Amino acid sequence: MARFSRIQTAIAMQQSGVIPVFYNADPEICFQIIHACFKGGLNVFEFTNRGDFAHEVFSELNKRVRKELPEVVLGTGSVMDAGTASIYIQLGTNFIVSPVIKEDIAIVCNRRKISWSPGCGSVTEISRAEELGAEIVKIFPGTQVGGPEFVKAVKGPMPWTSIMPTGGVTPDEENLKAWFDAGVTCVGMGSQLISADIIKQRNFGLLEDRANHISVILKKIRS
């Protein structure tokens, strides 16, 4: 079962600020990604369900994370149906992220008190997600939906809404400041942080440096 409650998870996502989003078929590479980012100051991670036997990779990864990096909050993204959500919940995921709103996923997650963040592209979808129990909603794809201006527009009439954009988020100060000034709770970041070159060259020291750089930027923005 999940090691962190959905309340603890939501708080951790807010405090971390940036959620690395990644997938690799090799559990060792996945662990090194998490370890490097963790050393750089990030402790919440979204493993994406995108490859064959991805749940088996996650199972091995999560067992090692629990043992060696117990502070890490590891969740699962790209979940499209309740059956897949149930598999990952059984494997101990701490949160579920989906690119769309699926009520059957909400039911499964709420039954087990697992944090669920569905992808939304309109105020109506955000409101529906919150009715279904989503604490933090994902806007996806972030730039195409409307970027920071969309977040700012939503937060006007709905200041209680917690938003996590994914897509269009980059590790530079100008971009991060625009998102956080608009009112996001946290952001998801994939290849802009964990580039193909880092994986190919196994340059996890560079990944740690990038994560640390982002952590410094976030601290500056939030202060």
Domain boundaries, the chain: 6-217
Average pLDDT over residues 141-165: 95
- pLDDT over threshold 90, residue 47: yes
CA atoms of 65 and 125, how far apart (whole Å):
34
Architecture (CATH level 2) of domain 6-217: Alpha-Beta Barrel (3.20)
In the predicted structure, residue 32 carries a pLDDT above the cut 90 = yes
- The model's confidence at residue 180, banded by pLDDT at 50, 70 and 90, is very high
Of the pLDDT bands very low, low, confident and very high (cuts 50, 70, 90), residue 141 is confident
By CB neighbour count within 10 A (0-12 exposed, 13-18 middle, 19+ buried), where does 59 fall?
Answer: middle
Are the C-beta atoms of 49 and 67 separated by less than 8 Å? no
Answer yes or no: are the C-beta atoms of 126 and 145 closer than 8 Å: no
Average pLDDT over residues 120-140: 96
* Neighbouring-strand partners of residue 74: 45
Please check the confidence at residue 159 and state whether its pLDDT lies above 90: yes
3-state secondary structure of 223: coil
Residue 100 sits at φ, ψ, to 5 deg, of: -135, 165
CA 29 to chain CA centroid, Å, is 18
pLDDT of residue 223: 87
Mean pLDDT of 166-172: 92
